[in-house]
Amino acid sequence: MRNIAFYFFGAAVLCVTVGMFWGIHMAISGDHLMAPAHAHLNLVGWTTMGLFGLYYTVTPAAANSVLSKVHLGFAVLGVLCIVPGIAMAVSSGGEALAAIGSILTVVSMLIFLFTVARNGIGRKTA
């Protein structure tokens, strides 16, 4: 059965794969206008979600909660909004989607803060 850590790692790997191809495209074309969006895809998508997945792997009590699923939803929605939102903002298409993505990403991190504060890190011993 796949747990929440699998889904965080899956999302992280998708983000870094897209980020790598995007980075190669920017390098080949010489057009680095989208570098801020690319950077956020790699940082928020790959690094942050990968760390969330690692945490849930080593802290099963947190992984088995309903809140971990809510966390995943906010984290994924945050990336799905912030990256294209930044791309739109740098290409003069407005900043609303980037702002929504930023809020969703901060909510995701606040959920994670609460989760870590409540569960600690690692397996609980009896």
pLDDT tens readout for residues 11-57: 999 999 999 999 999 999 999 999 999 999 999 999 999 999 999 99
- Report the C-alpha dihedral over residues 82, 84, 96, 104, rounded to 10 degrees: -20
pLDDT of 93 reads 82
Rounded to whole angstroms, the Cα distance separating 56 from 16 reads 19
pLDDT of 123 reads 81
Mean pLDDT calculated for residue range 85-113 = 96
Cβ of 26: how many Cβ atoms within 10 Å? 15
Rounded to whole angstroms, the Cα distance separating 47 from 12 reads 7
pLDDT of 1 reads 67
pLDDT of 92 reads 85
- pTM of this structure: 0.93
Q: Does 125 score more than 70 pLDDT?
A: no
In this structure, are residues 104 and 78 in contact, taking their beta carbons and an 8 Å threshold?
yes
Look over the chain and give the mean of its residue pLDDT values, rounded to a whole number.
Answer: 95
pLDDT of 126 reads 54
Mean pLDDT calculated for residue range 98-107 = 98
Q: Which amino acid is at 26?
A: M
Mean pLDDT calculated for residue range 93-101 = 94
